[in-house]
């Protein structure tokens, strides 16, 4: 008799699940096409030497707004872009607050870091030998982009509806560590023995009837399958297309992880980007079909900038000696540093790196790191927060440089310091960067826990 009663209760719960349950959240989702309407220099590869030749598929900015039962809101914006520079991120967030009342600390900006998108103003522009006309086109695009991203958040706020959230984690395996060791050090290549994070975190959004409204998913891998002269979102763009084809009416959103030192493998062909995208979309689908954990509120958010010190900058005399020395990128950097020194009287000694946490009750914490964070950050935070359900994203807020782990900084190479020239910095970071970033994450996690406990 008791067994029959238990089976009856299980059956009722199953019916509730099938018919839908009362919503814990209100959720709004919106999207806007951010494909350039005029030729804009493509970002990501310093070797590019001419303007784009067309569009393989559209580029998107998508906004997910979640509101808890207390009226607290948070926004996640995903974009098919190389990244935002601080000034643009600040403009966007200020406009979002003006239009919606949602403050900066509650807005997560994430860029997929596609290397087949347009250049955004001031993001690694030292890498490119641009004419004044080409630079003007980038500026015009950036101004329109700022308007569109702020507007898509406002549109998502207008579409808020009752919904439920659930979280799961799948797996994809096409990422490979790219820091290949050679006799002379470390260079970009293929390192099968290097660290990777194959996790595919998925946040599922369904309405009260159980209908799928959207899925936010991530992967820790550089978005660099392609280097063609056609705008496209690379594997992340193809993944969103594949998911939305299988789930008509649902919105797919991609949020890149700490893939600074990982590449897709193999790469180089459109067919490979599409294959990687389909495998990522399939991982999301498997996650949807598996065990998902309900995500409830309330929301708690925290945002803080932590200074990451550079090595000591060169003086004016040293910079003047460097004029005309080195390759073209180093020569451009010397010119830029001399101009900064003349304008400001000094050079930057640190970068104020943004760190952000959005905590969904006790069910999930989204950790959003700025810059091109290397894979060690995800692996360390997973280990040290093993009793928490966490999601670690990179390329959030602004892309100002690679953020090396202590291991990568010590080993050197492209991610360890060589790439700083393209971002306009005089040299690598000082040791201690990893502990500064991780320590800030832990501080913000504590703040969010305390806020939710009140």
Residue 11 scores a pLDDT above 60: no
In this prediction the pTM is 0.94
pLDDT of residue 216: 99
pLDDT band at 124 (very low <50, low <70, confident <90, very high): confident
H-assigned helices in 230-346: 234-246, 270-289, 316-322, 328-344
More confident site: 281 or 6: 281
User: In 12-41, which positions are buried (b, 16+ CB within 10 angstroms) versus exposed (e)?
Assistant: eeeeeeeeeeebbbbbbbbbbebebeebbb
pLDDT of residue 19: 42
All residues at 6 or more sequence positions from 431 whose CB lies less than 8 Å from its CB, including other chains: 406, 409, 410
pLDDT band at 20 (very low <50, low <70, confident <90, very high): low
Arithmetic mean of pLDDT, 176-185? 92
Q: What are phi and psi of 252, to 5 degrees?
A: -95, 135
- Summarize the chain as % helix, strand, coil (round to 5): 35, 30, 35
The vertex-69 CA angle with 63 and 72, nearest 5°, equals: 50
Tell me the pLDDT of the chain averaged across its residues.
94
Name the β-bridge partners of 231: 55
Domain ranges of the chain: 25-304+352-403+435-453, 314-347
Name the β-bridge partners of 185: 182
H-assigned helices in 224-310: 234-246, 270-289
Arithmetic mean of pLDDT, 328-332? 96
Q: Which token pair is 37?
A: 């309407």
Residue 448 scores a pLDDT above 50: yes
- pLDDT tens digits, 340-349: 999 999 999 9
* Dihedral sign for Cα atoms in the order 422, 425, 429, 433: negative
Name the β-bridge partners of 418: none
Token look-up 């998502």 returns 156
Residue 6 scores a pLDDT above 70: no
Give the rounded percent of residues in the chain with a pLDDT score beyond 90: 93
- Please give the DSSP secondary-structure letter assigned to residue 59: -
pLDDT of residue 21: 64
Q: Which token pair is 324?
A: 């005309």
More confident site: 212 or 129: 212
The vertex-177 CA angle with 174 and 181, nearest 5°, equals: 145
Q: Which token pair is 241?
A: 């297309």
Taking Cα atoms as reference points, which of 315, 350, 319 lies closest to residue 334? 319
Name the β-bridge partners of 205: 165, 214
Query: Do 302 and 450 meet the contact criterion of CB atoms below 8 Å apart?
Result: no
Q: How far is CA 47 from CA 42, 43, 127, 436, in A?
A: 11, 10, 8, 34
- pLDDT tens digits, 395-424: 999 999 999 999 999 999 999 999 999 999
- pLDDT tens digits, 353-400: 999 999 999 999 999 999 999 999 999 999 999 999 999 999 999 999
Count of C-beta atoms within a 10 Å radius of residue 225: 31
The rounded distance, in Å, linking the Cα atoms of 367 and 390 is 7
Tell me how long the chain is: 454
- pLDDT tens digits, 241-250: 999 999 999 9
Determine the 3-state secondary structure of 42 from DSSP: strand
Count of C-beta atoms within a 10 Å radius of residue 118: 25
All residues at 6 or more sequence positions from 170 whose CB lies less than 8 Å from its CB, including other chains: 199, 200, 202, 283, 284, 286, 287, 290
pLDDT of residue 5: 40
Give the rounded percent of residues in the chain with a pLDDT score beyond 70: 95
The rounded distance, in Å, linking the Cα atoms of 61 and 79 is 4
pLDDT of residue 184: 82
Residue 286 scores a pLDDT above 70: yes
The rounded distance, in Å, linking the Cα atoms of 41 and 50 is 7
pLDDT band at 183 (very low <50, low <70, confident <90, very high): confident
């Amino acid at each position: 008799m008791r067994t029959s009663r238990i089976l009856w209760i299980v059956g009722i719960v199953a019916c509730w699940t099938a018919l839908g349950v009362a919503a814990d959240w209100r959720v709004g989702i919106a999207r806007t096409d951010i494909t350039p309407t005029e030729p804009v220099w493509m970002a990501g590869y310093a070797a590019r030497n001419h303007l784009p030749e067309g569009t393989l598929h559209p580029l998107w900015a998508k906004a997910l707004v979640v509101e808890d039962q207390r009226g607290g809101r948070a926004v996640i914006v995903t974009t098919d872009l190389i990244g935002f520079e601080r000034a643009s991120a600040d403009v966007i967030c200020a406009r979002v607050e003006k239009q919606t009342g949602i403050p900066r600390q509650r807005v997560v900006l994430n860029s997929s870091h596609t290397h087949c998108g347009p250049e955004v103003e001031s993001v690694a522009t030292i890498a490119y030998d641009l004419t004044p006309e080409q630079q003007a086109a980038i500026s015009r695009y950036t101004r329109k982009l700022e308007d569109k991203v702020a507007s898509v958040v406002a549109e998502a706020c207008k579409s808020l509806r009752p919904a439920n959230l659930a979280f799961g984690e799948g797996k994809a395996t096409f990422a490979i560590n790219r820091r290949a060791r050679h006799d002379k050090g470390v260079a970009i290549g293929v390192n099968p023995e290097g660290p990777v994070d194959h996790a595919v975190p998925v946040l599922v959004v369904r309405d009260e009837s159980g209908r799928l409204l959207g899925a936010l998913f991530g992967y820790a891998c550089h978005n660099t399958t392609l280097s063609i002269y056609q705008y496209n979102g690379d594997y992340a763009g193809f993944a969103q297309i594949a998911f939305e084809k299988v789930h008509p009416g649902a919105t797919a959103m991609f949020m890149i992880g700490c893939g600074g030192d990982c590449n897709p493998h193999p790469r180089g062909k459109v067919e490979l980007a599409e294959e990687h995208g389909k495998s990522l979309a399939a991982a999301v689908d498997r996650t949807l079909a598996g065990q998902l954990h309900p995500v409830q509120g309330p929301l708690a958010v925290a945002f803080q900038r932590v200074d990451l010190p550079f090595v000591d900058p060169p003086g004016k005399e040293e910079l003047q000696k460097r004029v005309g020395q080195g390759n073209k990128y180093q020569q451009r950097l010397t010119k830029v540093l001399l101009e900064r020194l003349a304008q400001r009287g000094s050079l930057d000694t640190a970068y104020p790196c943004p760190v952000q946490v959005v905590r969904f009750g006790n069910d999930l914490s989204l950790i959003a790191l700025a810059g091109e964070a290397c894979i060690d950050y995800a692996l360390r935070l997973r280990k040290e927060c093993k009793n928490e359900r966490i999601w670690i994203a990179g390329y959030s807020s602004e892309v100002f440089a690679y953020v090396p782990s202590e291991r990568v900084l010590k080993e050197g190479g492209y991610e360890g310091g060589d790439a700083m020239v393209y971002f306009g910095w005089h040299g690598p970071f000082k040791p201690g960067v990893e502990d500064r970033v991780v320590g800030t994450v832990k501080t913000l996690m504590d703040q969010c826990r305390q806020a939710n406990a009140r």
